[in-house]
Amino acid sequence: MTRRPGFLVYGLLGAFVLGSVFPLYWSFLVPSHGNDILTDKVPPLWPGGNFLANAQQVLDTVPFWHAMLNSLIVSGSVALSVVVFSTLAGFAFAKLNFRGSNVLFVLVVVTMAVPTQLGIIPLYMAMSEFGWAGHLQAVIVPNLVSAFGVFWMRQYLVDAVPSELIEAARADGCSMIRVFWHVAVPAARPAAAMLGLFTFMQSWNDFLWPLIALDQNNPTIQLALEQLQAGYYVNYALVLAGTTLATIPIFLLFVVVGRQLVAGIMQGAVKG
Amino acid sequence: MTLTQLPARRPESATPAVARRDRWAKLDLKVSPYVYVAPFFVVFAVVGLFPLLYTGYVSLFDWQLGDDTAKFLGAGNYTELLTDAQFWNALANTVSIFLLSSVPQVIVAIGVAALLNTNLRLRTGFRMGVLVPYVASLVAVGIIFGNLFGVNYGLVNSVMDLIGIGPIDWQGNRLASHIAIATMVNWRWTGYNALIVLAAMQAIPPELHEAAMIDGAGPWRRFTNITLPMLRPTITFVVITSTIGGLQIFTEPKLFSAQPGSNTGGSTNQFQTVTLYLYQSAFENLRLGYASAIAWALFLVIVVAAVGNYFLTRRLSR
């Protein structure tokens, strides 16, 4: 195991990474030149100078900044809410003894496998009834909690918080919510950050439900991208400029926290 | 607040204040856990479980969007569904795309994980590298691959032309369109799943490999006889999650269509999936009752497939 792997391993992995990156690079390459490279026999692999012009056209065609802000509000609220409720419930399941806790936790696990997406029709009927359709709360409220989040925080807190610490704090007269705040929350921070990050990205990507619940005047970024594409003739330089613009913030986030993201996925795999 | 003060020393005689405090502490201990788990269960019941169950109720009616005079049909929507060729077509497409994406994906993910599980230089760089597709949204992936698999000017056909194959009609040909859509899914998720498998590989005790090596087992035998069986729970997990997600696939086929905005999944529904048909029935044909029946049928298919996969993966990797 300590021997360095040979050229073949690097070659195969390098090819895999190249394949992973290339489609994203292509979505930058096309708008940086223009639609004419789509008809080239051998397209140039070096970017041209038209990206900003195409990006400007995106901003003129769809309410891009409005959509970005909407996505930020939606994903931010959903991530915050999921983290708060999951940490609370996860703490209770991990560290507190209460009647029915085992049954309730099994329910949480079962819930993870329920395809709630299939409930969109009554959900849409309810949203129109409340007059929420077209407003951001229609895409925030259905995602306020996550079974996976509860499961994830519970698995983490089981080991992260020593039970003796909780008992000591209780014996000193700490109320339960203060124990939660001063003992569980500091310990939960790394797992909570991961959960927040995953939830944010998942919510940012969401398409089916926002497509139903919102309209073109008040879109999320994914709806704005679909709107860009939805002409009879697809102007790929324009549409791919849009996807690139929308991917840049997530890509920057990935550059900053990618290492932790990798660690989080691997940690979740072993714990889960 | 006397309740939250820290009593340094407890007086032996219980004064009324202390008794009240003790009673409060007991109540706090008893009730708090339920208060902490309640938000999850209440919200899930309202926005998750109830809509799913109510879908079953709606499916018994002829319920038009924007019309309050729903007519009770009983099992009418379901009998229609059983003889609806478009539904069976969509189900076949969904299963085909699912198989084309999940089977190669799991195999390649195990291979990539094995490559990553060597003593690499730039280890973190490679791990981040395989995760890059995860930053692209599904909509972006649908648009980008729709372009790459373009029939006339797509890069895939251009490259294939250079080596003397094709051109392939990635939109019109049923199997080709399934392969193109499965490629999107595989592109986005293989690296992610490779990291999950890698984590499981690293959890295998090295003594097992060392013992087998002493017994003269080569790398391939050690891989098939130690690594694969030890990966069983993880592979089961990956397969089941990809079953639940894969059978609901919607965004990729919707964005892949050469007629943007359409819900038909190609001119002859050649790549319309069940969820896309559900969407079309509810929000284009405005038949909420019928769409609900589709939703419940799909729910049943997912349950059967997830349970079936569970037993299949257990048997295969035993």
Report pLDDT digits (tens) over A247-265: 998 999 899 988 888 988 8
With beta carbons less than 8 A apart as the criterion, state whether B189 and B98 touch.
no
Please tell me the total count of domains within chain B.
Answer: 2
**pLDDT tens digits, residue range A138-172?**
999 999 999 999 999 999 999 888 888 888 888 88
Residues B180, B150, single domain; the answer is yes
Give Cα separations from A183 to A17, A80, B22, B75 (angstroms): 42, 20, 21, 55
Write the single-letter amino acid at B178.
H
Q: Phi first, then psi: what are they for A160, rounded to 5°?
A: -80, -25
With beta carbons less than 8 A apart as the criterion, state whether A37 and A44 touch.
yes
Write the single-letter amino acid at B201.
M
Domain that holds residue B182: 77-316
Contact status of B185 with chain A (Cβ, < 8 Å) = no
Domain contains A13? no
Helix (H) or strand (E) holding B61: strand B61-62
- Give the model's pLDDT for residue B14: 56
* A88·B39 Cβ contact <8 A: yes
* Res A135 pLDDT > 90: yes
CA B288 to chain centroid, in Å, comes to 25
Residues B295, B149, single domain; the answer is yes
Query: What spatial distance separates the first Cα and last Cα of chain A, rounded to whole Å?
Result: 27
With beta carbons less than 8 A apart as the criterion, state whether B292 and A125 touch.
no
Q: How far apart are CA A119 and CA B94, in angstroms?
A: 19
Gap from B229 CA to chain A (nearest CA, Å): 16
Task: Assign A204 a pLDDT band (cuts: 50, 70, 90).
Answer: very high
Chain A residue closest in CA terms to B288: A121
Domain contains A196? yes
Residues B119, B201, single domain; the answer is yes
Residues 6+ apart with CB under 8 A from A153: A86, A87, A89, A90, A91, A94, A188, A191, A192, A195
- ipTM for the assembly: 0.89
* B203·A270 Cβ contact <8 A: yes
Give Cα separations from A12 to A179, B223, B292 (angstroms): 51, 18, 46
Domain that holds residue A212: 48-271
Domain contains B1? no
Query: What spatial distance separates the first Cα and last Cα of chain B, rounded to whole Å?
Result: 61
CA A109 to chain centroid, in Å, comes to 20
- Give the model's pLDDT for residue B307: 85
Interface of B with A in 71-110 (CB under 8 A): none
* B251·A120 Cβ contact <8 A: no
Number of H helices, E strands in chain B: 15, 2
pTM of the model: 0.89
Gap from A59 CA to chain B (nearest CA, Å): 17
* Res B10 pLDDT > 60: no
HSE toward the beta carbon, residue B229, CA cutoff 13 A: 9
**pLDDT tens digits, residue range A31-77?**
998 888 887 777 888 888 889 999 998 998 889 999 999 999 999 99
Q: What is the mean pLDDT of residues B261-286?
A: 92
**Dihedral, CA atoms, A220, A221, A227, A230, nearest 10 degrees?**
-130
Structure tokens, A106: 């099994």
Structure tokens, A200: 């944010």
Domain contains A41? no
Tell me the percentage of chain B whose pLDDT exceeds 70: 94
- Give the model's pLDDT for residue B125: 92
Residues B116, B54, single domain; the answer is no
Contact status of B54 with chain A (Cβ, < 8 Å) = yes
* B133·A23 Cβ contact <8 A: yes
Residues B42, B95, single domain; the answer is no
Interface of B with A in 18-47 (CB under 8 A): 21, 25, 28-30, 32-34, 36-37, 39-41, 43-44, 47
Q: How far apart are CA B276 and CA B256, in angstroms?
A: 12
**pLDDT tens digits, residue range B200-228?**
999 888 888 888 888 888 888 888 888 88
Residues B54, B156, single domain; the answer is no
Domain contains B6? no
Closest CA to B255 of B276, B269, B270: B276
- Give the model's pLDDT for residue A232: 61
CA B185 to chain centroid, in Å, comes to 10
